[in-house]
Amino acid sequence: MFDYLIVGAGYAGSVLAERLARGSGKKVLIIDRRNHIAGNAFDHYDEAGILVHKYGPHIFHTNSADVFNYLSIFTEWRPYEHRVQASVDGQLVPIPINLDTINRLYGLNLSSFELQEWFASVAEPRDRIRTSEDVVVSKVGRELYEKFFRGYTRKQWGLDPSELDSSVIARVPTRTNRDDRYFTDTYQAMPLRGYTRMFENMLDHPNIKIMLKTDYADIEDWVPHRELIYTGPVDEFFSFSYGKLPYRSLAFKHQTFDVPVFQPAPVVNYPNEHPYTRVTEFKYLTGQEHSKTSVVYEHPCDGGDPYYPVPRPENTEIYKKYQVLAEATPDVHFVGRLATYKYYNMDQVVAQALTLYARLSGTQRAEAAKVRMARVKPVATIPAKSGKNGREKSRDWRLGSGD
């Protein structure tokens, strides 16, 4: 008899497995359809020996001390501030749009104060901000909207920004200074030895059992458990009784080049003429030293694994029906991006999981996040190397499978 069966070994499931096992002494079985832990944050060494993110770049950033200190128990960090450039009009310029973006794009020499006036002169005021198009044109006008946002959004979501909720593009700021960081959070860092190693440390407890390549539908009737934590698609759990919730997926093309550096920035966005949305070069993220480099091209698509809930009013209404069912289902807890149909960042999922654990354990979230098995490890700046071609040995977490 397990106290908890947890479906999904990504952030939500793994944090809750660790907290319930180590914090409350519960016996936990965590399962996942894939052949690895860590969910979409899974990273591994490719054939060239370069650490890559299998499912596209995952950049950790948060303003939550609770979240950062909790994860710091399971990893040391490499300080990293993410920067992105966009290919527009034949040149690479910073994104989010800032002072340098406008000056370089238009051959100007504006100051920050003058840029505020420039934005005001091109902006198209809106009485109400309903859509993503409204967000952009009301701030920076129609021309920059077309150059930077419309094409990228249509590729990413398969919809015009005028058809998407304002929250989608509201995540990307516009600046009047020269700050070219993509995020401005208090804590910005990458796990020193990768995300997968962090998850391995998190799940390293005798009360946690893991089954990979295992579908919940195949075991729900024969694995005895008291309560269920579900992090998969909520519509699938309820057999699509109100129809399928739409998700946007991605197809990844990984490629290795026999050069030390491929592009001048960690990520280059292609908002217009290219079939892919962005290209990521992983060595920028990890700090790994290697004579070759590996990149990934991202091609948004409708089929495939569900990555992004599509934020439109009609989809929200469908989810609310599933939410009613979820809240009425005893001894089942729904948590994570897919189970709550929310476009969460990694730190938000961790915070959501810690909040659920606090409720289950009857504690405050700050207290629920404390792990007394170790002190927070010091920040390190240079990733350690070991093994052939800089590879690090990793424990085998395939403790069981549904095969």
Q: Percentage of residues in the chain with pLDDT exceeding 90?
A: 87
Burial of 283 from C-beta contacts in 10 A (0-12 / 13-18 / 19+): buried
Residue 121 has pLDDT above 70, yes or no: yes
Residue 385 has pLDDT above 90, yes or no: no
- Whole-number pLDDT of residue 303: 87
Q: Is residue 209 part of a domain?
A: yes
Q: What whole-number distance in Å separates Cα of residue 340 and Cα of residue 356?
A: 13
Q: Is residue 178 part of a domain?
A: no
Task: Clarify whether residues 77 and 106 are in a common domain.
Answer: no
Task: Clarify whether residues 71 and 125 are in a common domain.
Answer: no
The total number of structural domains in the chain stands at 2
Q: Is residue 50 part of a domain?
A: yes
What's the chain's average pLDDT?
92
Task: Choose the final residue of a domain: 115, 140, 170.
Answer: 170
- Whole-number pLDDT of residue 96: 96
Closest by CA to 80, choosing from 187, 195, 179, is 187
> Over the stretch 288-302, which tens digit does the pLDDT of each residue have?
999 999 999 999 999
Query: Judging by DSSP bridges, how do beta strands 332-334 and 225-230 pair with one another?
Result: parallel
> Over the stretch 98-114, which tens digit does the pLDDT of each residue have?
999 999 999 999 999 99
Task: Clarify whether residues 383 and 305 are in a common domain.
Answer: yes
Q: What whole-number distance in Å separates Cα of residue 49 and Cα of residue 174?
A: 38
CB-CB neighbours of 74 under 10 Å: 21
The contacts found for 217-220 with CB under 8 angstroms, 24 or more apart, are: 218/402, 219/31, 219/402
CA distances from 378 to 18, 76, 79, 180, 225 (A): 21, 7, 12, 27, 38
- DSSP string for residues in 268-293: EE--SSSSSSEEEEHHHHH----SSE
- Whole-number pLDDT of residue 116: 97
Task: Clarify whether residues 342 and 297 are in a common domain.
Answer: yes
Task: Clarify whether residues 230 and 294 are in a common domain.
Answer: yes
CA distances from 364 to 66, 71, 351, 355, 371 (A): 11, 17, 12, 8, 14
Crossing angle (nearest 10°) for helices 346-361 and 11-18: 30
Domain around 368: 2-82+188-390
> Over the stretch 52-97, which tens digit does the pLDDT of each residue have?
999 999 999 999 999 999 999 999 999 999 999 999 999 999 999 9
> Over the stretch 30-40, which tens digit does the pLDDT of each residue have?
999 999 999 99
Residue 220 has pLDDT above 50, yes or no: yes
Task: Over range 369-373, report the average pLDDT.
Answer: 65
For 209, the 3-state DSSP assignment is strand
Residue 137 has pLDDT above 90, yes or no: yes
pLDDT-based confidence at 311, cuts 50/70/90?
confident
Task: Clarify whether residues 319 and 228 are in a common domain.
Answer: yes
Q: What whole-number distance in Å separates Cα of residue 193 and Cα of residue 384?
A: 7
Task: Clarify whether residues 283 and 352 are in a common domain.
Answer: yes
Q: Is residue 120 part of a domain?
A: yes
Q: What whole-number distance in Å separates Cα of residue 51 and Cα of residue 202?
A: 20
- Whole-number pLDDT of residue 386: 36
Task: Choose the final residue of a domain: 115, 137, 170.
Answer: 170
Q: Is residue 73 part of a domain?
A: yes
Task: Clarify whether residues 49 and 129 are in a common domain.
Answer: no
pLDDT-based confidence at 365, cuts 50/70/90?
low
Which amino acid, 316? T
Of the two residues 196 and 382, the one the predictor is more confident about is: 196
- DSSP string for residues in 138-198: HHHHHHHIIIIIIHHHHHHHSS-GGGSBTHHHHTS---SSS--BS---SEEEEETT-HHHH
Q: Is residue 346 part of a domain?
A: yes
> Over the stretch 237-251, which tens digit does the pLDDT of each residue have?
999 999 999 999 999
Q: Is residue 176 part of a domain?
A: no
Task: Clarify whether residues 208 and 298 are in a common domain.
Answer: yes
> Over the stretch 392-403, which tens digit does the pLDDT of each residue have?
444 333 333 333
Residue 94 has, within 13 A of its CA and on its CB side, a CA count of: 22
Task: Clarify whether residues 127 and 270 are in a common domain.
Answer: no
Q: Is residue 179 part of a domain?
A: no
- Whole-number pLDDT of residue 374: 43
Task: Clarify whether residues 77 and 130 are in a common domain.
Answer: no
Burial of 146 from C-beta contacts in 10 A (0-12 / 13-18 / 19+): middle
CA distances from 278 to 60, 204, 239, 261, 271 (A): 18, 35, 35, 16, 8
- Whole-number pLDDT of residue 380: 41
Q: What whole-number distance in Å separates Cα of residue 150 and Cα of residue 267?
A: 19
245-256 b/e with 16+ CB inside 10 Å = b?
bbbbebebebeb
- Whole-number pLDDT of residue 387: 37
Task: Over range 258-276, report the average pLDDT.
Answer: 97
CATH for 313: 3.40.50.720
Place of tokens 């390293």: 204
Task: Clarify whether residues 41 and 162 are in a common domain.
Answer: no
Closest by CA to 281, choosing from 270, 267, 271, is 267
Task: Choose the final residue of a domain: 137, 170, 203.
Answer: 170
